């Protein structure tokens, strides 16, 4: 009986090899129901790796769109203004101390050691916000917005960034001269 089983197994193996060669390319072995220890990674569409700038721009744009979704009352991109951009910046950022004139740390350079015990307001560093606004200005137009209606180019946003830069420079004892 074992000879009959061996003959049947051999016949099945031969028929399996002949049928599998028609279904599989010559460089791949047929899978007979077992799972290989190592499976090659699935072929993905070859996408170029994003640059740091592109990654940051995409991250900032997703955060802004998420802000618009959470905004009450609902706010569509077409109705967004420079004031909404400032609300977003306040919502998303705001973790750097901006010392006021009556603060003992006003004008100290370098910044005092952490944690700073003063009650000065928190704000984001000007250079960071300037970079975020610049990336969002580009992302707005890449996502179908018109340059004339770009809220990130609004006068109120430019004035806010300029005033923030000047205030932070004075708080650190640095004068910008442009």
Summarize pLDDT for 144-175 with one digit per residue, the tens: 999 999 999 999 999 999 998 888 887 766 65
Query: At residue 58, does pLDDT exceed 80?
Result: yes
Q: What is the pLDDT of residue 93?
A: 75
Predicted confidence band at 103 (pLDDT cuts at 50, 70, 90)?
A: confident
- Quote the pTM value: 0.59
Angstrom distances, CA of residue 98 to CA of 16, 64, 69, 95, 126: 76, 24, 30, 9, 10
Domain ranges of the chain: 52-171
19 against 107, higher pLDDT: 107
pLDDT, averaged across the chain: 75
Nearest-5° angle of CA 156, CA 93, CA 136?
55
Higher pLDDT: 178 or 142? It is 142
The arithmetic mean of pLDDT across residues 71-95, rounded, is 86
Cα atoms in the 13 Å half-sphere on the side-chain side of 41:
4
Identify whether the C-beta of residue 156 lies closer than 8 Å to the C-beta of residue 91: no
* pLDDT computed for residue 21 by the predictor: 46
> Mind listing the pLDDT tens digit for each residue in 109-147?
555 555 566 777 666 778 889 999 999 999 999 999 999
Question: Collapsing DSSP states into helix, strand and coil, what is residue 23?
Answer: helix
Average pLDDT value for residue range 50-59 = 93
pLDDT of residue 126: 82
How far CA 149 is from CA of 62, 65, 128, 174, in Å, comes to 19, 17, 23, 35
Partners of 96 in the beta sheet?
Answer: 123
Neighbours of 177 (CB within 10 A): 4
In contact, 60 and 136? CB cutoff 8 Å: yes
- Between vectors from CA 110 to CA 163 and to CA 123, what angle results, nearest 5°? 35
């Amino acid at each position: 009986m074992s000879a009959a089983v061996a003959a049947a197994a051999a016949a099945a193996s031969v028929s399996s090899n002949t049928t599998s060669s028609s279904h599989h390319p010559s460089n791949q072995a047929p899978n007979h129901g077992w799972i290989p220890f190592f499976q090659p990674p699935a072929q993905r569409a070859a996408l170029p790796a994003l640059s740091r700038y592109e990654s940051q721009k995409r991250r900032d744009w997703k955060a802004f769109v998420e802000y618009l979704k959470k905004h009450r009352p609902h706010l569509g991109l077409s109705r967004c203004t420079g004031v909404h951009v400032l609300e977003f910046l306040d919502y998303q950022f705001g973790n750097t101390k901006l010392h006021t004139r009556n603060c003992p740390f006003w004008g100290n350079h370098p910044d005092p050691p952490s944690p700073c015990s003063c009650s000065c307001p928190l704000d984001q560093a000007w250079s960071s916000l300037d970079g975020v606004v610049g990336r969002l200005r580009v992302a707005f137009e890449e996502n179908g917005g018109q340059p004339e209606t770009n809220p990130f180019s609004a006068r109120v946003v430019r004035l806010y960034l300029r005033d923030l830069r000047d205030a932070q420079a004075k708080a650190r004892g640095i004068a910008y001269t442009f």
